[in-house]
Copies of this chain bind each other. A is one copy, B any other.
Amino acid sequence: MDSHAKISIMSMSDDSAKRLSEHSGQEKSGEHSRLSGPKFFRRRIALPQRFRRRTRPGEVPGRVEADPEAEPPTIHVMGYSSAEVVEGVVEDISQLDEYLAKFPITWINIDGLADAKLIQALGTKFGLHPLTLEDVVNVHQRAKVEDYDDYLFLVARMIALQEDEVQTEQISMFLGDNYLLTFQERKGDCLDPVRTRIRKKRGKIRTRGADYLAYAVLDAVVDGYFPVVESLSRELEQLDAELDDKNLTTNTTARIHRLRRDLLLVQRSIWPHREAVNEFSHLTGDWITDETRIFLRDCYDHVIQLVEIVETYREMCADVRDVYVSEISLRMNAVMKFLTLIATIFIPLNFLAALYGMNFNTRYEWNMPELGWPYGYPLLVLLMVGIGVGMLFYFWRKGWLRE
C-alpha cells in the first residue's frame, strides 16, 4: 500500500510535501543529538518556564489563547485500514472528512499550536470540551487521562535531547471511536517509528483499533525517555570516574548541579505518567480491548522502571556531590597542613635570625654578648636545626605528616 501513500502525497501542494519530508527527516537529527554526548553539558538548561498560563486568572474557563511564541500549525493526516494507508498534509480541516469517512482509523496530528482558531474549529468538529482545548494550548499540563463521553483526552510529555539540552514537549491526544487527534508543540517527534509501522504494516498495528494506536503513541513517548536517561547515566558515570582519578576541575560543581537538575526535570516529567498510564489501562467501558490492556501494562512497567532508575540516579548524584564536597575539604586540609608545616617551622627560626640582626650597642656586656662569641653562629644554626627537627617530630607524632 506504500505506493498509494506516495500518490496521495503527490497530490499535495509543494509546501505541504516539504513539511511532510521535514517531518520524516527530524528523526535523523534527533538521532544525531542523542549521540553528541560529550558536548552535552556545555549549555544552560532552561527552567521549565513554559508553565505560564495564557488564560488570565478569573477569565471565562475554556478559552483558547495561543502562545505568541508558538509555532504555526501543520496538519498531518494518516487514514488506514488493514488493507491500505493514505497520508497527507491538509490545509483545511474540511479535508479531514474524506479520511474519516473512508478509513476505520484516522490519525490527525497537529504540530504547532499558534492557530487558536484552528484548534477551536477542530474542537467544534469533534465535539471536544472547551476545557480540554484550553489544556492543549497551555502546555504545562501533567500527564493525565480524562474520560469524556464521546472521547478520551490524554496528555503525555515527550522528552528529547535537542542541541544538548533536555527538552520536554506536551502531546495532547483525543481518542475517539475512529480517530486519534494529537497536538504537539513543535515539529519533530519520536513517533516516526509508529508511522513507519503503519506505512509498512509492521506488527499488528494496522489490524487493531484506535486504542492500540493511542497505546503505540504513548508507548513511543515513554520509551523515548530511555535514551535520554542513558545519556544522563553516561554523564554520571563520567563524573564518578573523574572523582576516582581525583581529577576535579572547577566546573565539576556546575556539571553535577546541571545533572541533578536534568534528572529532576526527567523525574518530574515521567512521574505523572505512572498514574496516567495506570488509569488508562484500567478504564472501564469499551475504550480499550483486553489485548491492548496487556500492552498498556507493559508500558506501565516501563514507566515504573524509568521512575526507579531516575530516582536511583538522583541518589547517586547526591552521593557524588557529597564525595566531591568532602574531597574539596580534604584538599583544603592538605593545603592548610602544608602551610602550617612550613610556617610553624620557619616562624621561630625567622625570629631568632631577626633577633641577632638587632643593632644593640654591643660595647655593653649585657647587650647581645652572643654576637661576640667565637662559635655563636654555628651554635645558633645548631639550635635552629634542633627546633626544626623538634617541630617535625611533633607534627609526626600528631599524625599531621601522614597524608
Contacts and interface: CB of A to CB of B under 8 A. Distances in A.
- Give the contact-size bracket for chain A: 35 or more
Contacts of A230: 49, 51-52
Given A316-B264, A349-B351, A335 B332 contact: no
Determine the main DSSP class of A at the interface with B.
helix
Nearest to A295: B61
A211 B369 CA distance: 97
A355 to B, nearest CB: 5
A342 B347 contact: yes
Contacts of A349: 351
Contact of A51 (B305, B362, B399): B305
Given A48-B312, A377-B366, A335 B400 contact: yes
A361 B372 CA distance: 5
A328 to B, nearest CB: 6
A378 to B, nearest CB: 5
Nearest to A313: B47
Interface in A315-363: 315-316, 319-340, 342-344, 346-351, 353-362
Contact of A335 (B47, B319, B337, B378): B337
A4 interface: no
A102 interface: no
Interface stretch (A8-16, A80-88, A116-124, A192-200): A192-200
